[in-house]
Amino acid sequence: MPRVLIVEDDESSRESLRAALEDAGYTVVVAADGEAALALYLEADVVVTDLVMEPIDGLQLIEKLRRGSPQLQTILVTAHANAAVERRARRAGAFALLPKPIDLDALERALQAALAS
């Protein structure tokens, strides 16, 4: 079963994503912030992370994860999606950028593509 690490500081969003992905057949690990994610990412096949978090934001987290595990795919989710954020996400090494609120079908497609790459 594919393992997904969800990094989301909003507990309600984190738990909703966890439930939806578990229902879809994924094994899910969660982290409330980027620092916690750095201790858990080796347990994941793909990481889904929010952009706006403290003390490490989603882009900084992706850069750190890619340095530690270049093959690990990451999906950035944000309520602040625009062309500039998308460019920054690509430069950081994000596999995909999805807007919030998250369309679960789009997330599932992004996860499948990330896992297949």
**Domain residue ranges in the chain:** 1-79
- Residue 3 is predicted with a pLDDT of 97
Cα dihedral 33→46→58→62 (10° resolution) = 120
**Strand ranges across the sheet with 27-31:** 27-31, 3-7, 46-50, 73-78, 96-99
pTM: 0.95
Residue 81: what pLDDT?
86
The CATH code belonging to domain 1-79 is: 3.40.50.2300
If the chain, 117 residues long, is cut into consecutive pieces of 10 residues, what is the mean pLDDT of each piece? 96 96 97 96 96 95 94 95 92 96 96 96
Contact criterion met (CB below 8 Å) for 46 and 29: no
Beta-bridged to residue 30, according to DSSP, are: 6
In this prediction, residue 44 carries a pLDDT of 96
